[in-house]
């Protein structure tokens, strides 16, 4: 003769318990995403900005290396370096690197302020400002030795 126990030999969770646990996990997951969502989705932005800043720095180092290996005369600044960097307001992708030219002009210093040179002034200070595609600027002043 067979005897039946109270639990009928079944073990495990009921369907109602599984649905309740899945609902709680879904609600907690949605709350966690709201709390940490930007951290998860934008966590690579600082690394990307750092890479682009380093590329801009490397570009300026390439220009500086070209300047330092030259005769560093006014003629070199005007006819070679300034031309190789490119005109103001243009995007460049050349041997120096990839950049946008903000400033590429000769300047002079009047007192403690910067001024554009007039016709006939000495071309001794070349101001170069470059920008990368995330809006970071880097400025260097090249002078005649």
pLDDT tens profile 40-95:
777 778 888 999 999 999 999 999 999 999 888 888 988 899 999 999 999 999 99
Q: Is 21 helix (H, G, I), strand (E, B) or coil?
A: helix
What average pLDDT is seen over the chain?
88
Report the pLDDT value the prediction gives residue 22, as an integer from 0 to 100.
Answer: 96
Q: Are residues 49 and 57 in contact, defined by beta-carbon separation less than 8 angstroms?
A: no
Is residue 38's pLDDT more than 70? yes
Q: Which tokens go with 83?
A: 């031309």
Report the pLDDT value the prediction gives residue 39, as an integer from 0 to 100.
Answer: 74
pTM over 0.75: no
Strands 98-110 and 113-116, sheet pairing? antiparallel
128, HSE (Cβ side, Cα atoms, 13 Å) = 27
Q: Is 135 helix (H, G, I), strand (E, B) or coil?
A: coil
- What tens digit of pLDDT does each residue of 113-126 get? 888 888 888 888 99
- What tens digit of pLDDT does each residue of 48-63 get? 899 999 999 999 999 9
């Amino acid at each position: 003769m067979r005897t039946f126990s109270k639990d009928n030999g079944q073990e495990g969770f009921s369907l109602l318990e599984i649905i309740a646990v899945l609902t709680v996990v879904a609600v907690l997951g949605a709350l966690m995403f709201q709390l940490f969502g930007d951290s998860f989705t934008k966590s690579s932005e600082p690394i990307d900005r750092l890479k682009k800043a380093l590329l801009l720095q490397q570009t300026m180092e390439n220009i500086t290396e070209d300047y330092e290996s030259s005769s560093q005369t006014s003629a070199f600044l005007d006819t070679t370096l300034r031309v190789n960097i490119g005109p103001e307001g243009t995007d460049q992708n050349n041997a120096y690197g990839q950049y946008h030219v903000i400033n590429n002009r000769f300047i002079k210093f009047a007192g403690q302020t910067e001024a554009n040179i007039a016709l006939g002034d000495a071309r001794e200070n070349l101001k170069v400002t470059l920008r990368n595609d995330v809006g970071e600027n880097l400025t260097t002043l090249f002078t005649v030795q």
